[in-house]
Chains A and B, each alone.
Chain A
C-alpha cells in the first residue's frame, strides 16, 4: 500500500464505522438478538407460556415425522422454482427489447411498473375475482373454447393460480432493473459483435448475459429470497388451501406459531428454511460470480 493509502486508511475506517453504525445497531437489536433468541427457542419446547425447556434436537427430528412439514417443504420448492424462473425469463424477454431507446418504450417502461406498485392486499382481492367462477380467467378461457375451471378451489390448479399472480406481480420491478442494467452495457461490444456478424441469439447468450451478471445476480437473489419466504400471497389468495395445496413453508411456520403456539417448533422450521436459503444463496453467488469485487 502506498504511503498515501496508509495515511488515508484511518479516516476511512472512522468514516466507515460511523456511516454503518446506525445500521449495525439496528440489525443487531432487531435482527441478530431476536434471531439468537429464535435459535435458542428452536431447541426448546416453548409454547408461548411458561419457561422454555431445553429439548435438544427434538424439534428438528419432529419435522421428518410431520406430514405437514414435508408437504409444505415440497410446495415451497415447486413454488420457488415456478415463480423465479418464469419471472426472470419473462422479465428478460421484455427487458431486452424494452431497453432500446424510443418514445413508445419510455411509455411502456412506465406502464410495466403498475402491477409492481399495487399493494399485495389489493392485488390479491383482484385476482380472487379474476379467478372466480364467472371471472376474467374463465371468460378468457371461454373465448378459446375451454370449459370454466375452479381456479382457487381445485387442489390441482390453486398453486398455479398463485404462481401466475406472483409472476405477474413481481415481473415489473425486474423488468425495470434489467432494462437499466442493459442500457448501461457498453455499446462498443455490440458493435464489435455486429461486425463479427453474430446473430441476435448468439449476441444475447455470449455477450449480453455475461455482462449482465451483476444485475442478474441481484435480481436472482432477491427473487429467490422473496419466493422462499413468500407468505402473504398464499395467506391472502388461498389461505393455504384447498386441502393444503398452497401451504408454503412460511405459511406452515406461521400457523404453527399462531395460533398453534408451537413457537419452538416454528423456530426450528425457520432455521431449516434459513439453512436452505443460505445454501441456495451461496450457490447463486458461486454460480454468478460478479456481485463482489
Chain B
C-alpha cells in the first residue's frame, strides 16, 4: 500500500513536471536579453522587467488590456447568466421546444465558425454594430459549450429537492434563483473561466469588427505589434507571458470554487 502511494506521487510529480516545463522555458526565454540562448533551461540573467518596459513603450498596451478585460468579463458574465438559466431549464423543466432547442445548441458545437463569418458580419452590420463593443461582444456572448456544461451539471440536481420546493409553494423563478443557481455556482465559475480564456484568445472576430485601434483587444494589438517590429523570440515571449498573467490570476483566484464545484457534476443520477 505504502509503495503504491509513493509510486503514485512520483508519477504525478513527473507528469505535472513535464506539463510545467514549457511554462518554465517561457519564463526563461522571456527574461533573456537576446535570442542567443533558446534552450529555455538556464536563466541568462533576468531581463524580464526591461523586456516588459520595451513592450509597454509601444504605448497602446494598457488600452488593449482594458479592452480585453471589458470584452472577456462582459461576455463572461452574460454567458454565465444566460447559460445558467437555459441549462437549468433544459435539464429540469419541461416546456415546449425543449428538445429542439437542445438540438440547436448542441448542433452549433459542430458548426465551423469560419463559414459563418460573412453572414454574421452582415447581421452585425444590419444592427449597426460595426466598430462597436457590442459588435465585438454579442456574437460570441453565449457559447454552446456553456449551455451544454450547465445542463449536464443541472441534470445532477435531485428532482425531489425541486419538487419539495414546489410543494412549499415556491415559484419556478424563485426555485431557479434560490435553489438551483447556488448549487450550480461551481459549474458557473468554471464556465466563466473557460469563457474568459476563449475570449482572451479571440483574435479574428475583434479584428474584423473593430476599425479603430482604441477598440482593439490584446491579441489584435499583439499581432500588429509582431508584424510591425518583426520577430524577436525573447520579446514576443515576453509579450506572450504578459498576456498569460490575467488568466492565470483569475485561475488562482477561482481555483477553490471550480475544483470543489466540479465534483457536483458526477452527483448521483
Chains A and B in contact, CB within 8 Å = yes
**Which residues of A does B touch, CB under 8 Å?**
4, 8-9, 11-20, 22-24, 26-35, 37-38, 41, 48, 90, 93-94, 97-98, 100, 104-105, 108-123, 125-130, 132, 134-136, 139, 168, 171-173, 176-177, 179-186, 212, 214-215, 218, 221-222, 225, 229, 231-232, 250, 253-254, 257-258, 263, 266-267, 269-271, 273-274, 277-278, 281, 290-291, 293
State whether the Cβ of B69 lies closer than 8 Å to any Cβ in chain A.
Answer: no
State whether the Cβ of B216 lies closer than 8 Å to any Cβ in chain A.
Answer: no
Residues in A neighbouring B172, C-beta threshold 8 A:
11-12, 14-16
Q: Is B240 in contact with A177, judged by CB distance below 8 angstroms?
A: no
B15, B107, B113, B265: which contacts A180 (Cβ < 8 A)? Answer: B265
Rank and list the top 3 A-B pairs by shortest CB-CB distance, nearest first. A16-B95, A180-B262, A184-B266
CB-CB nearest in chain B for A173? B194
Q: Is A136 in contact with B25, judged by CB distance below 8 angstroms?
A: yes
Q: Give min CB distance, A151 to chain B, whole Å.
A: 13
Q: Is A26 in contact with B141, judged by CB distance below 8 angstroms?
A: yes
Q: Is B240 in contact with A184, judged by CB distance below 8 angstroms?
A: no
Q: Give min CB distance, A170 to chain B, whole Å.
A: 11
Q: Is A171 in contact with B19, judged by CB distance below 8 angstroms?
A: yes
Interface size class of B (residues with CB under 8 A): 35 or more
CB-CB nearest in chain A for B9? A104
State whether the Cβ of B101 lies closer than 8 Å to any Cβ in chain A.
Answer: yes
Residues in B neighbouring A119, C-beta threshold 8 A:
197, 200-201, 219, 240, 243-244, 247
State whether the Cβ of B133 lies closer than 8 Å to any Cβ in chain A.
Answer: no
State whether the Cβ of B152 lies closer than 8 Å to any Cβ in chain A.
Answer: yes
A19, A22, A32: which contacts B93 (Cβ < 8 A)? Answer: A19
State whether the Cβ of B104 lies closer than 8 Å to any Cβ in chain A.
Answer: yes
Q: Is A117 in contact with B112, judged by CB distance below 8 angstroms?
A: no
B104, B173, B247: which contacts A31 (Cβ < 8 A)? Answer: B104
State whether the Cβ of B164 lies closer than 8 Å to any Cβ in chain A.
Answer: no
**Measured between alpha carbons, how far is A172 from B248 in the docked complex, in Å?**
13
**Measured between alpha carbons, how far is A127 from B22 in the docked complex, in Å?**
8
CB-CB nearest in chain A for B114? A254
Interface mask (B131-161 → A, CB under 8 Å = 1, otherwise 0): 0000000110110110111001001000000
Q: A232-B201, A253-B114, A257-B114 are in contact. Are A12 and B255 (CB under 8 A)?
A: no
Question: Interface SS of chain B: helix, strand, loop or mixed?
Answer: helix
CB-CB nearest in chain A for B140? A30
Residues in B neighbouring A33, C-beta threshold 8 A:
119, 123
Q: Give min CB distance, B65 to chain A, whole Å.
A: 13
Residues in B neighbouring A9, C-beta threshold 8 A:
94
Residues in A neighbouring B88, C-beta threshold 8 A:
19
Q: Is A135 in contact with B89, judged by CB distance below 8 angstroms?
A: no
**Measured between alpha carbons, how far is A61 from B94 in the docked complex, in Å?**
43
Q: Is B262 in contact with A177, judged by CB distance below 8 angstroms?
A: yes
Task: For chain B, residues 244 to 258, give those with C-beta under 8 angstroms from any C-beta of chain A.
Answer: 244, 247-248, 250-252, 255, 258
Q: Is A31 in contact with B116, judged by CB distance below 8 angstroms?
A: yes
Q: Is B259 in contact with A257, judged by CB distance below 8 angstroms?
A: no
8 residue pairs A–B, Cβ–Cβ below 8 Å: A15-B173, A38-B115, A114-B19, A117-B248, A177-B265, A180-B261, A218-B148, A278-B110
Q: Is B201 in contact with A120, judged by CB distance below 8 angstroms?
A: yes
State whether the Cβ of B26 lies closer than 8 Å to any Cβ in chain A.
Answer: yes
Q: A136-B41, A273-B112 are in contact. Are A30 and B262 (CB under 8 A)?
A: no
**Measured between alpha carbons, how far is A203 from B219 in the docked complex, in Å?**
46
**Beyond A181-B262, A214-B155, 18 additional pairs, beta carbon < 8 A:** A19-B85, A22-B142, A27-B142, A30-B138, A30-B139, A34-B116, A98-B12, A113-B251, A121-B223, A121-B240, A127-B22, A130-B22, A134-B37, A136-B39, A139-B39, A177-B262, A232-B203, A278-B110
CB-CB nearest in chain B for A26? B142
**Measured between alpha carbons, how far is A229 from B171 in the docked complex, in Å?**
41
Residues in B neighbouring A270, C-beta threshold 8 A:
111-112, 114-115
Q: Is B104 in contact with A27, judged by CB distance below 8 angstroms?
A: yes
Q: Is A19 in contact with B176, judged by CB distance below 8 angstroms?
A: yes
Q: A15-B95, A26-B141, A176-B258 are in contact. Are A126 and B114 (CB under 8 A)?
A: no
State whether the Cβ of B52 lies closer than 8 Å to any Cβ in chain A.
Answer: no
Q: Is A23 in contact with B200, judged by CB distance below 8 angstroms?
A: no
Q: A108-B13, A117-B193, A274-B112 are in contact. Are A281 and B89 (CB under 8 A)?
A: no
Residues in A neighbouring B89, C-beta threshold 8 A:
15-16, 19-20
Q: Is B22 in contact with A214, judged by CB distance below 8 angstroms?
A: no
A13, A28, A182: which contacts B96 (Cβ < 8 A)? Answer: A13
Q: A15-B95, A30-B138, A34-B119 are in contact. Are A184 and B265 (CB under 8 A)?
A: yes
Residues in B neighbouring A179, C-beta threshold 8 A:
259, 262
CB-CB nearest in chain A for B89? A19
Residues in A neighbouring B144, C-beta threshold 8 A:
27
State whether the Cβ of B118 lies closer than 8 Å to any Cβ in chain A.
Answer: yes
